[in-house]
Amino acid sequence: MNNQLFYTQTSSTAPEFDVIVIGSGIGGLVTATQLAAKGASVLVLERYIIPGGSAGYFDRNGYRFDVGASMIFGFGTQGTTNLLTRALAAVNVSVETIADPVQIHYHLPDGLDLKVHRNYEKFLQELTEHFPQEREGIRRFYDECWKVFNCLNAMDLLSLEEPGYLTRVFFQHPLACLGLVKYLPLNAGDIARRYISDPILLKFIDIECYCWSVVPADMTPMINAGMVFSDRHYGGINYPKGGVGQIAQKLVEGLEKAGGEIQYKARVSKILTENGQAVGVQLATGQVYRAKRIVSNATRWDTFEKLLPPEQMPRVEKKWQQRYQKSPSFLSLHLGVEADVLPWGTECHHIILSDWEQMEEPEGTIFVSIPTLLDPNLAPEGYHIMHVFTPNWIDDWQGMSAKDYEEKKQEAAERIIKRLEQFFPGLDTKLDYMEVGTPRTHRRFLGRDDGSYGPIPSRKLRGLLGMPFNRTSIPGLYCVGDSTFPGQGLNAVAFSGFACSHRIAVDLGL
Ligand SMILES: NC(=O)c1ccc[n+]([C@@H]2O[C@H](COP(=O)([O-])OP(=O)(O)OC[C@H]3O[C@@H](n4cnc5c(N)ncnc54)[C@H](O)[C@@H]3O)[C@@H](O)[C@H]2O)c1
Ligand SMILES: CC(C)=CCC/C(C)=C/C=C/C(C)=C/C=C/C(C)=C/C=C/C=C(C)/C=C/C=C(C)/C=C/C=C(\C)CCC=C(C)C
């Protein structure tokens, strides 16, 4: 039997759903749960053995490690921007959270040492003590971030590709909409430089952006900065009890209760099209599933270069690839340490940088999270988890023997631990467990092209205007997650999930 015939027969008799979601990252799961709650038949296909993607976890020697970042936005109790709380509630589940009193403790060049307190005034006061001459500029910049946040936090957050919603929201909140229209093409650096002139303070604003957007303030969309710099004081940073993995586990529980299905170890190798329209997927095993709508939670590079034939890449996607590039991946040290290595009063999240010129370089900025300070149950008694990570490129880890790869990991870990000794004296001798992940690890376990953290602008762009929404130029195919508006971050991909499911629900007449 020739392949074409085989494919046609399998495809026409394949199980059919309303919606198939490729990948169970938080973006994919929010889309799936929202649609299942509206009565759609939904199938989620996940290549790994558990859900969550970058928000997954792994257990080793009594420790439960978060795969990705442990600093979670979107778990507030009020307003409309608490999208993780809302996504869980929509399918009648919830996650208990633990409030973090400090978002980040910064350890920056020339002794610039300060904390971003949950209390806004306390944070402004601490920052102003370092830059008294910029008292007014500091307040005006951060207050302007609140303006963005207040516009967003006043309205239901759904698909900007749905004219009915746009009309309704405009009549309900005309000023908030006009406010957002004003900020959509702006970057945080444009606003910061209106009010602030001290070069070191501007560098501080750069790292405030860099530590979540992986680009400096000039390249960071103001809408996203408004969300991050305000929500940390409004809803606050709240850690899910039991670890970040709980969010995905609970969403899956809600998905199944609402009648949706998820399959693990189900790697999609192809998106199937007929007459230019997406109609189904094929797994690596050859199994075919069909659906009225297909959603890809894989990155845009994976979607348009691997799941679809790269030579047929739509023109708009080629243009997008000129505007956005893959950000670096991370080198991650997952450590189990004796509890007494942490000085009294240690905060949960730290950013360490010793030379401003090195901020964007591999191993320049070091991120540290110690989630057991909030939830001690993630480690054996008397021990803590330290997740230490720093940007790193896949090219530095390719084409080497297994032995060289292991040695290189060990050397990198030693260099980083040496730097951390300044803040955690005796760390090296107090290590109980260490696992090192590289960009190759992220690529392998998360299925992300080059292990990338997500798309970043390849040059200065006009804020969020260049970021695509959920529909693609292939009818029937949608994207969700950090390759879509508004980009990286759990709360950001949760928004993308709300928007994607809303657009599909309207398209399917649900
Ligand atoms: N503090 C935070 O805000 C925080 C914490 C952790 C993660 N994150 C962020 O979450 C975002 C990621 O969320 P996301 O939803 O976009 O994606 P994701 O990368 O987390 O999830 C994608 C999922 O799709 C699966 N997948 C990929 N290709 C597949 C295929 N061919 N077949 C089947 N499954 C496939 C992967 O295994 C993964 O589970 C990132 O921006 C990350 O930085 C943020
Ligand atoms: C009608 C008319 C006329 C008009 C209209 C207009 C409108 C309505 C508009 C709208 C818009 C919208 C809705 C928007 C939205 C947005 C959003 C939601 C956003 C969000 C965002 C978020 C974010 C960005 C987040 C992020 C986060 C992150 C990334 C995090 C990360 C973290 C990490 C990395 C960690 C760190 C660590 C340490 C420090 C240790």
- Tell me the pLDDT tens digit for each residue of 433-464: 999 999 999 999 999 999 999 999 999 999 99
**CA proximity to 339, closest of 279, 379, 388, 295:** 379
pLDDT of residue 408: 98
Whether the CB of 454 sits within 6 Å of ligand 1: yes
- Ligand 2 pocket mutation, candidates 227, 351, 500, criterion most atoms within 8 A of CB: 227
Band the pLDDT of 13: cuts 50, 70, 90. Answer: confident
Whether the CB of 349 sits within 6 Å of ligand 2: yes
- Ligand 1 pocket mutation, candidates 26, 300, 304, 327, criterion most atoms within 8 A of CB: 26
Pick the CATH number of 2-56+74-95+240-323+461-507 from 3.40.640.10, 3.50.50.60, 3.60.15.10, 2.30.40.10: 3.50.50.60
Contact 348, 374 (CB under 8 A): yes
| Atom of ligand 1 lying closest to residue 445 CA | 37
pLDDT per residue as tens digits for the range 125-158: 999 999 999 999 999 999 999 999 999 999 999 9
Mean pLDDT score, 31-58: 98
- Mapped onto helix, strand or coil, the DSSP state of residue 349 is strand
pLDDT at 2 over 70: no
Report the alpha-carbon distance of residue 387 to residue 404 in Å, rounded. 24
Whether the CB of 391 sits within 6 Å of ligand 2: no
User: For residue 213, what is the enclosing H or E element?
Assistant: helix 199-213
Query: Residue 222 Cα, ligand 2 centroid: separation in angstroms?
Result: 9
Residue nearest to atom 9 of ligand 2 (CA): 180
- Ligand 2 pocket mutation, candidates 72, 152, 207, 229, criterion most atoms within 8 A of CB: 152
Whether the CB of 495 sits within 6 Å of ligand 1: no
Query: Residue 377 Cα, ligand 2 centroid: separation in angstroms?
Result: 30
Whether the CB of 223 sits within 6 Å of ligand 2: yes
Percentage with pLDDT > 70 across the chain:
98
Band the pLDDT of 337: cuts 50, 70, 90. Answer: very high
Whether the CB of 14 sits within 6 Å of ligand 1: no
pLDDT at 251 over 50: yes
Q: What are the start and end residues of each CATH 3.50.50.60 domain in the chain?
A: 2-56+74-95+240-323+461-507
CB-facing half-sphere around the CA of 124: CA atoms within 13 A: 16
Band the pLDDT of 11: cuts 50, 70, 90. Answer: low
Query: Residue 374 Cα, ligand 1 centroid: separation in angstroms?
Result: 24
Contact 475, 166 (CB under 8 A): no
Band the pLDDT of 12: cuts 50, 70, 90. Answer: low
| H runs (alpha helix) in 427-489 | 439-446
pLDDT per residue as tens digits for the range 102-122: 999 999 999 999 999 999 999
pLDDT per residue as tens digits for the range 371-399: 999 999 999 999 999 999 999 999 999 99
Average pLDDT value for the chain:
96
Report the alpha-carbon distance of residue 299 to residue 307 in Å, rounded. 10
- How is 130-197 classified by DSSP, letter by letter? H-GGGHHHHHHHHHHHHHHHHHHTTS----TT-HHHHHHHHHH-HHHHHHHHHHTT-BHHHHHHHH--
Whether the CB of 258 sits within 6 Å of ligand 1: no
Band the pLDDT of 15: cuts 50, 70, 90. Answer: confident
Whether the CB of 71 sits within 6 Å of ligand 2: yes
**CA proximity to 143, closest of 219, 207, 194:** 194
| Atom of ligand 2 lying closest to residue 488 CA | 29
pLDDT of residue 6: 39
Which pTM was predicted? 0.96
Contact 217, 192 (CB under 8 A): yes
pLDDT at 1 over 70: no
Whether the CB of 55 sits within 6 Å of ligand 2: no
Band the pLDDT of 4: cuts 50, 70, 90. Answer: very low
pLDDT per residue as tens digits for the range 18-43: 999 999 999 999 999 999 999 999 99
Whether the CB of 127 sits within 6 Å of ligand 1: no
For the chain, the distance separating the N- and C-terminal CA atoms, rounded to the nearest angstrom, is 40
